Structure 1
Amino acid sequence: MDPITAATHADPYPYYARLRAKGGLVFHQGLKLWVASSARAVAAVLAHPDCHVRPPSEPVPKSIADGMAGKVFGQLMRMNEGERQRCPRSAIEPGLVLIDVDEVNALVSARLITPDADGLYNAMFRGPVCVVAALLGFSPAQGRAISELTADFVACLSPLSEQAQLKVSHAAAEQLRGYFVELLDDPDNRSALLAGIRQRFAADYDTLIANLIGLFSQTYEATAGLIGNAIVALIRTPLFLPDSTPVEALIAEVQRLDPSVQNTRRFVAAPCEIEGVHLNAGDVILVLLASANRDPLLNEDPDAFILDRPRRRSFTFGEGRHQCPGQLLALQIARATLTQILAHQPDWDCLTWHYRPSLNSRLPHFNDRSTGVIRRCETPR
């Protein structure tokens, strides 16, 4: 195991503990990058102005730079620094915070959710995007199409994607852009969320559309992992009964204990010093968010699953200028979805799961034990 393959290991957390014991920020000779594993080091890297989300020499991955997916990628606030990051964020984040939880619950409740493998797949990967699409003013039919296109688009975010997948990603980006062009031109759109974003957005039209597409892609992976890893926790812990589980507390502890986003990267743009370590321009830092969540200096008794944990702290959604603006919405959708799944009193013994191939995500895919057929394995991330 290494700090990257750990993301999809059955239990990476003892390994993360050993990394923390070696020091908060150390160089990994095999991977040729720095690894931040402690809460102090992770917080310092995420806060440092010279630690950027993309290497200055390659703001867009070369593999997608010449297509529509690359054009969208290059405009995403999560992939930029400075004003190119602040402007879209200041326009989108306020509206996400104000979304009515009852509206989210109603949109989730309107969807058909079943506790078998296919139903869980749709609840995890399709449902959350459909909810966000509805909040923006798309029809249910459009939301279903958009969720399929988002599944194709996220291939552009993965270094593991093959050329054929990237080609599909470019086509999906073109179609998603077309959906938003029509939505933004629709005089009958009554979405308060979209109206607020448009009112606050000061950048150009293409950047607005790119970041609305980015809202779908971030919803797709973050919320799927929240739901899926909560289900894994329920399967592993029989004491959490479907009719008595405090879902809000369960989701909150799962996102800390077993997060869907295990790591992220930062690229050193100028010589600097972090936690007593001198870093050079061009250095790469692997930021182990999941390891920092289990640092005993951040959370007492960090390896225990405690539903009513006091002063719970987590790096799962990032921190500082690049903290995920959709954190609250992702938690709301995950809570509502898991509540609907539990209402069916699922038989967890009928399911098994595996983690999809990934360099940074921990997303379970469920299959029906009776058939042994793995359902719809997604593009590796």
Structure 2
Amino acid sequence: MDPIIAATHADPYPYYAQLRAEGGLVFHQGLKVWVASSARAVAAVLAHPDCHVRPPSEPVPKAIAGGMAGNVFGQLMRMNEGERQRCPRSAIQPELVLIGVDEVNALVGARLITPDADGLYKAMFRGPVCVVAALLGFSPAQGRAISELTADFVACLSPLSDQAQLDAAQAAAEQLRGYFVELLDDPDNKSPLLAGIRKRFAGDPETLIANLIGLFSQTYDATAGLIGNGVVALIRNPTLLRDAACVEDLIAETQRFDPSVQNTRRFVVASCEIDGVSLNPDDVILVLLASANRDPQLNDSPDTFMLDRPQRRSFTFGGGRHECPGQIVALSIASATLKEILARKPALNRLAWNYRPSLNGRIPVFSDRVIVHREQARSHI
């Protein structure tokens, strides 16, 4: 086990507890990175001005530099510091907060969801992007196409992607940009969300387009994992949810207890001291968000799944200047989607799952478990 493998392990949380016991911020000899595992260390790293989201020597991954995917990546607020981070964030975050729960519920409720593994997959990976697309003023047909393109585009964000996936991501970035060029030129667009973002945004159009594409990419994996891990929680403990009114609490506790984003990275750009440890430029810190969520210093009884947890605290959506701006809408979409899934009365005991290959995500992919009745099994003996 190591902190990277842990993200997709069946149960990484005892290992995270072991790391916390060894020290909040320690050097991992195998990975050659510093590992922040305690709530105190994670908070300090996320807040420190000398801990950046990208190494200064490589603002865009070499594998995608020079293409449209690289152009988009290089302008994303989540991948930048200073004004290149603050400008798009100050335009987008306030508008995302204004999105109403009823509007999200209606958009999710309009989608066809079937109670099998394939229907669950579409609800997790396609539905949330379609909801965000609709909020921005795209038609349902455009939203479906955009969800497929987003699935291709997010491959450029993963070091595990092969060349074919990276080529598809470059093509998807070109097409997603084209969709937004047309949307921004459409005089009949009636989206309050898009209108509010455009009114607040003071940068150039390409930066705006890149960060609107970024809304889709952030929605895709993280929200899928949030929905999926909520389903896993119910499979493991069916008594958790006694009525639909508790879905919001279940999703809120899921994002703390078993988050879809297990870790993130920070790159040290100047000599500094964090949590009593001296760090040097070019040091890399693996920030274990999921471990910090289970730190007893952050939450009482952290290994207990508690729907009515008082003062729930979590690092799942980050912290400091790079805290996820879409936290509220992500929770709303996940809650609405899980309600619709449960309304179809799926046979959760017939679902099996494994986790998608990832260095930082914990995203279950479900399959229909083949159940052979004992009588049928005997007939083949």
Could you say whether these structures have the same fold, taking a TM-score greater than 0.5 normalized by the shorter chain as the test?
Answer: yes
Answer yes or no: is 1:232 the counterpart of 2:232: yes
**What corresponds to 1:65 in structure 2?**
65
Answer yes or no: is 1:46 the counterpart of 2:46: yes
Answer yes or no: is 1:162 the counterpart of 2:162: yes
**What corresponds to 2:379 in structure 1?**
none
- The Cα shift of 1:344 comes to 1.2
For 2:203 and 2:111, the matched residues in 1 are separated by 35
**What corresponds to 2:116 in structure 1?**
116
**What corresponds to 2:259 in structure 1?**
259
State the AA in 2 paired with 1:199: K
Which structure 2 residues correspond to residues 327-346 of structure 1 after superposition, within 5 A?
A: 327-346=327-346
State the AA in 2 paired with 1:39: A
**What corresponds to 1:187 in structure 2?**
187
- The Cα shift of 1:370 comes to 2.5
State the AA in 1 paired with 2:80: N
For 2:273 and 2:281, the matched residues in 1 are separated by 11
Q: Which moved more, 1:48-57 or 1:337-346?
A: 337-346
1:5-30 deviation digits (Å, cap 9, x = unpaired): 00000000000000000000000000
1:226-256 deviation digits (Å, cap 9, x = unpaired): 1000000000002134645610110010000
**What corresponds to 1:203 in structure 2?**
203
SS in 2 for 1:213: helix
**What corresponds to 2:30 in structure 1?**
30
**What corresponds to 1:376 in structure 2?**
none
CA contact (8 A) 2:96 2:329 kept: yes
Which structure 2 residues correspond to residues 1-381 of structure 1 after superposition, within 5 A?
A: 1-241=1-241, 243=243, 246-370=246-370
CA contact (8 A) 2:244 2:339 kept: no
Cα gap change, 1:331/1:241 in structure 2, threshold over 3 Å: closer, same or farther? Answer: closer
For 1:64 and 1:35, the matched residues in 2 are separated by 27
For 2:26 and 2:259, the matched residues in 1 are separated by 23
**What corresponds to 1:377 in structure 2?**
none
How many residues align? The count is: 372
Cα gap change, 1:35/1:257 in structure 2, threshold over 3 Å: closer, same or farther? Answer: same
For 1:241 and 1:365, the matched residues in 2 are separated by 21
- The Cα shift of 1:350 comes to 1.4
SS in 1 for 2:239: coil
CA contact (8 A) 1:97 1:329 kept: yes
CA contact (8 A) 1:242 1:343 kept: no
1:292-347 deviation digits (Å, cap 9, x = unpaired): 00000000000001100001000000011000000000000000000001111111
SS in 2 for 1:64: coil
State the AA in 1 paired with 2:44: A
Cα gap change, 1:94/1:27 in structure 2, threshold over 3 Å: closer, same or farther? Answer: same
1:34-83 deviation digits (Å, cap 9, x = unpaired): 00000000000000000000000000000000111000000000000000
TM superposition score normalised by structure 2: 0.96
RMSD: 1.1
State the AA in 1 paired with 2:49: P
SS in 1 for 2:126: helix
Percent identity over the alignment?
Answer: 81
For 2:37 and 2:241, the matched residues in 1 are separated by 34
SS in 1 for 2:367: strand
State the AA in 2 paired with 1:368: D
TM superposition score normalised by structure 1: 0.96
Which structure: larger Rg?
Answer: 2
For 1:221 and 1:239, the matched residues in 2 are separated by 27
For 1:241 and 1:322, the matched residues in 2 are separated by 33
For 1:11 and 1:139, the matched residues in 2 are separated by 41
SS in 1 for 2:180: helix
1:114-143 deviation digits (Å, cap 9, x = unpaired): 121110000000000000000000000000
SS in 2 for 1:19: helix
CA contact (8 A) 2:241 2:247 kept: no
**What corresponds to 2:378 in structure 1?**
none
**What corresponds to 2:376 in structure 1?**
none
1:153-202 deviation digits (Å, cap 9, x = unpaired): 00000000001100000000000000000000000000000001001110
